[in-house]
Amino acid sequence: MEQQPKELMEKIISLAKRRGFIYQGSEVYGGLAGTWDYGPLGVSLKNNIKHLWWKKFVDDRQDMYGIDAAILMHPGVWKASGHVDTFTDPLVECTKCKKRFRADQLENAGVCDACGEPTGEARNFNMMFQTQVGAVEDSSATVYLRPETAQGMFVNFKNVVDSFHPKLPFGTAQIGKAFRNEITPRDFIFRVREFEQMEIEYFIRESDWKTQFEYWKNEMKDWIEMIGIDTAKTHELEVGEEDLAHYSKRTVDFEFDFPFGKKELYGIAYRTNFDLTNHNLTYQDEETQEKIVPHVIEPTFGLDRTILAVLCSVYREEHTEGEVRSFLSFKPSVAPVICAVSPLLKNKPELVEKSQEVFKMLKKRFGQVMFDDNGNIGKRYRRQDEIGTPWCVVVDFDTLGENQELLDTVTIRDRDTGAQTRLPITELESYISEKLA
Ligand code: GAP
């Protein structure tokens, strides 16, 4: 059944909270706008996505170098990168109620979204969070929380070259927090003030930029499909010259049809040699001794938006006579819980003992395995469906030999079809790992 967008968003937010994926930040103090906390299943989902990203873009390649730079960086970095002067959004204030908005996000330009009165003139608002280092509170101690992970890679360019002597083209990759003082954080985890980015700076010769741009755009498309984001809801947008970031000569955004509209999910930019030039960094070819400032292709992926796009892509409802079964059809490699193990009845010690044995075996192998004996078996299936567990294993009396032919076998139920298969316990590990692969 086609979901109404607003209703779908509410269902996803409610499920995310109820089932321990995502909670409002500082909730017990009334919340802190633009911050969200990931609960146990959210962390697991996030870690799976980060792990898959790192594997695809770093570990499976020979030309990529991982970085984990500090969040606090020297203010000179942000002066050189252009962020101090240009990383701004247009801010307007209502002339009557004094509420503040991003001018380009008002429902009607120049009119307050809250009270309908006119807004004042727009002014540039720098989105970087400032803080002080050390015990002195003057402007010399001001530093910024990084608004993008990218600069941590640019300023380590020389370090990587000196340690590893890579030949062009090669890349650096980083996953980490970024902070932006968004004027109007909104749409759940879509626009927040503290978020995570997964970014690549791929250093190239200028003459290769068009080929490399196409190559990385395709890699991003591959990734989108690989983690189960609905490709039919993903669109490429060639960013117009007037909207390009100050460092970019070409940008393509990957947009996704979120329930609240078609919005940016990821981006790929040709940053030329803007950043390395501004940081005074060069590259010397060891064979030819040629000295150049490499150019850069930057594929950038917001992790929180990835999670939201995945949740929106995999949310399903099945309606049957008065009953609704909702489930998250995660790809097994992304699912926060790979498998749940249950005894058919929880008040039968022999069933509990055997199912604990099976649980421990699977947990040792796959880690993200849950023991679930709450409520009856139907309720357990519903709960596991809601959190997107691909397989539920049940130990019943036949497992214990009530039917000798079925001794040491269990049922394994598929989340998407609800179909149950009987398998020997000894085949469980290979059954799951084949499907995971
Ligand atoms: N280094 C380039 C860069 O930071 P960006 O388009 O400003 O480019 C990259 O940000 C990605 O970070 C976006 O495509 C989006 O996925 C994510 N992102 C940006 N601002 C965000 C916010 N306020 N909340 C959540 N994610 C955000």
Cβ of 182 closer than 6 Å to ligand 1, yes or no, is yes
So what's the pLDDT on residue 406? 93
CATH 3.40.50.800 fits 337-436, yes or no: yes
Which tens digit of pLDDT belongs to each residue from 258-272?
Answer: 999 999 999 999 999
Report the first-to-last Cα separation within the chain, whole angstroms.
Answer: 31
Cis peptide bond upstream of 424, omega within 30: no
Cβ of 266 closer than 6 Å to ligand 1, yes or no, is yes
Cβ of 267 closer than 6 Å to ligand 1, yes or no, is yes
What separation in Å is there between the alpha carbon of 131 and the centre of ligand 1?
A: 21
Residue 149 and residue 53 in contact, taking contact as beta carbons nearer than 8 Å: no
What separation in Å is there between the alpha carbon of 302 and the centre of ligand 1?
A: 6
Which amino acid makes up residue 315? Y
DSSP run (H or E) holding 354: helix 349-366
Among candidate residues 377, 414, 87, 68, the one with its CA nearest the CA of residue 245? 87
For residue 253, the ligand 1 atom closest to its alpha carbon is: 14
Cβ of 179 closer than 6 Å to ligand 1, yes or no, is no
So what's the pLDDT on residue 321? 85
For residue 300, the ligand 1 atom closest to its alpha carbon is: 9
So what's the pLDDT on residue 316? 95
So what's the pLDDT on residue 374? 92
So what's the pLDDT on residue 141? 82
User: What is the sign of the dihedral through the CA atoms of 151, 166, 226 and 331?
Assistant: negative
Distance of CA 91 to the CA centre of its chain: 28
DSSP run (H or E) holding 28: none
What separation in Å is there between the alpha carbon of 6 and the centre of ligand 1?
A: 23
What separation in Å is there between the alpha carbon of 118 and the centre of ligand 1?
A: 30
Please enumerate in sequence order all residues whose Cβ is within 8 A of that of 138, keeping only pairs 6 or more positions apart, or say none.
none
Q: pLDDT below 50 — which residues of the chain?
A: none
Cβ of 199 closer than 6 Å to ligand 1, yes or no, is yes
So what's the pLDDT on residue 192? 98
Among candidate residues 410, 313, 406, the one with its CA nearest the CA of residue 355? 410
For residue 390, give both structure tokens: 């691909």
So what's the pLDDT on residue 437? 84
So what's the pLDDT on residue 287? 80
For residue 389, give both structure tokens: 């567990």
Cβ of 302 closer than 6 Å to ligand 1, yes or no, is yes
Question: What class is the 5-71+150-312 domain?
Answer: alpha beta
Cβ of 304 closer than 6 Å to ligand 1, yes or no, is yes
- Domain borders along the chain are 5-71+150-312, 337-436
Residue with CA at minimum distance from ligand 1 atom 9: 300
Please enumerate in sequence order all residues whose Cβ is within 8 A of that of 377, keeping only pairs 6 or more positions apart, or say none.
342, 344, 394
In the sheet that holds 123-126, the strands lie side by side as 100-102, 88-93, 123-126
Cβ of 192 closer than 6 Å to ligand 1, yes or no, is yes
**DSSP three-state, residue 349:** helix
For residue 189, the ligand 1 atom closest to its alpha carbon is: 25
Cβ of 306 closer than 6 Å to ligand 1, yes or no, is no
User: Among 67, 146, 305, which is best to mutate for testing ligand 1, by the most ligand atoms less than 8 A from CB?
Assistant: 305
The Cα 57–Cα 243 span in angstroms is 28
The residue written with tokens 């991982």 in the block is 66
Residue 102 and residue 90 in contact, taking contact as beta carbons nearer than 8 Å: yes
Alpha helices for 188-302 (secondary structure H): 209-226, 274-278
Burial of 2 (0-12, 13-18, 19+ CB in 10 A): exposed
Inter-CA distances, 129 with 87, 138, 149, 393, Å: 11, 16, 14, 48
DSSP of 293-348, one letter per residue? Answer: --EEEEEEEEHHHHHHHHHHHHEEEEEETTEEEEEE---TTT-S-SEEEEES-TT-
